[in-house]
Structure 1
Amino acid sequence: MTSRLTRLGYIDVRRTSNPVRRKVRSRGVPPALANNELFYTEDTATAARSITQALAPLRLDVATDLRDDFAATMHGVRLRNVSMLYLDLHVAATIDIPVLGQYFAVHMPMNGRAVVNHRGQTFEANTIRALVTTPGVPLRIDFDDDSPQLIIRIEARAIAAHLTRLLSRALSKPLEFEPEFDLATEAAMRWHTAVQLIHTEVFHPGSLIQRGQGIGAVEELVMSTLLQLQPSNYYDEFLQPPQPDQRRTVVREAMNYIDDHLAERITMESVAKVVHMSIRSIQQGFREELGMTPMTYLRERRLERAHEDLTDAIPADGVTVTAVAERWGFHHLGSFAVEYRKRWGEAPSDTLRR
């Protein structure tokens, strides 16, 4: 379908229509992804190249006596910073990734099992035990026969920014999760619910996400749920009750005010009036907690919202770069384009066309 959900960004979704394939039984593809096949191939080299686009440069190994039965498929959709992918290699195979890309992923086997090695831990992933990956380190997965995986991919920049806002301070070190995720606990039901919400929103025509609305809220729910459930190097701080700290409280209140009024004219005077603190105190708090000024934070958040609008837009929307820039307070198009490219690595018009 031609919609916001087909533009994965990190993978070329163009494929051969009705590719020639042998008859294989249904592999339990989630209904929401059934019409979003990214690739099908019976060639291991082609499969490795295609999976590389969705994950990272990798090596795919299949035993010689299993190659005649090999068939790889991937289905998927992407919201903005959260993607739902379904990978099936059909036979026993090994994926070796020397360095994972800048994303976190929850790999959930839908059947069978896979032995994973990640961040110094080796364990069996199965229908009640998932794998949570961390960027920039190796990953090895030994798939058993008939062991398809549902993968929830979360872009690293997005979850780091979300955690920064939740903690009201800059992250002192990169976020890292424990690899083993127990899906059988009562608490893990919240994760299942978040995943089901993505599926429901993608599956049902006319849903908020299908109309390009509510994407941010759904993604924040997914990120918050993972941060709350899965141990990480920020887990204790994330869960502990807020400690009385006037400076951090001021920063949090100022951040909330800025986030709630991004499309309006915001000055340091208006922020100071809301949080009942001097401009100097607010600026000092932002520098110490976030490593930036309040106005830099404002600009960054507006750039994020502009990027979201341009990413979500489709040609039929009639959206223009100028309209999006002005909506988020950028009234000089040239300066906006420069700042946007510096932040996102491409021109606003490129995002809109993608």
Structure 2
Amino acid sequence: MANQIENLWREVRELSLGTEIDHLASPPSPVQFLRDYVSQSKPCVISNAIAHWPALKLWSDPAYLTGALSNDLVSLHLTPNGCADAVSQGSTGDLCFASAHVEKVPFPEALQAVRSSSKGKSVAYLQQQNDCFRTEYSTVASDCDGDISWATEALGCSPEAVNLWIGTDLSVTSFHKDHYENLYAVVSGEKHFLLLPPTDVHRLYVRRYPAANYSYYRDSEAFKLELEQPVRHVPWCSVDPYPSPEREASERLIYPLFFEGPMPFHCTVKAGEILYLPSMWFHHVSQTPGDGGYTIAVNYWYDMQFDIKYAYFNFLQSVSYESSSLNPILSWREDEDSESGDADMSP
């Protein structure tokens, strides 16, 4: 079985995905998008798709956003290290799935917290899943389109959620997947994606970790990470694709399937571009700020089809995998009710 699974990683690249992410110079027709990308579960980056958005010109100016959203309360996510929805070490030394401290604050205060973030003290990230762009940021919603028209026609439905993300290079999103077709539009700065197809699930070393939440105490500027009660477990990936030099050797020993397997796909999505990220693709996200000192993105989540591809994925992840030359990988199976939502806590 080991050889067959390892062959699968390579064959899906040779037969379907290639070695690089496709870049389209203009938006595809709905038929082309459905035929060449959605049906093949194949990512692509599209240029010249949002050039008409007022947001591209307006949102790089902090004064514009602060003025437009001066009376709006938004969800501010705070962590000590910029890693929310990620595997972290708890107070007892055990690993847990850590979520950010979240509080509602006026947008001007929140944006200032983002721009003044400092690793080791407090890293602020403006985001809230569950359609935050059309709720918390409705005042500036007209600066963008309500959907991606050619994707809406191709997929046969409107977005279930539209989310806004504002952060700095200190915020990083760990490897995870989402059960949505994701159209990810960058408005300011750049987003850097590492991508792995669903066929590579065993390489991500997904395990179940007890859920925990950060609490932030403003008077002492201290964080405390506490386990949820009652205990809830979340399936998550703990692979760090960019370990520090002093940790790299040990990380390669702990996660050999990731570091010794085929290279992840890499793409940079610049301001004005859209990434189509197919459902169930694993992705790790970092970012580079733009002129305003932050990165901004708007993503559109469309419902995925729970079709034969989903059945294939569930079968694959249920298979115990042991390489003849590497450490055994225990099989795992998701409990959909316990999974954290994008969690694309994607920046």
> What TM-score does the superposition give when structure 1 sets the normalisation length?
0.22
Higher helix residue share: 1
Higher strand residue share: 2
- Kindly indicate whether structure 1 or structure 2 has the higher relative contact order, using CA contacts under 8 Å at least 6 residues apart: 2
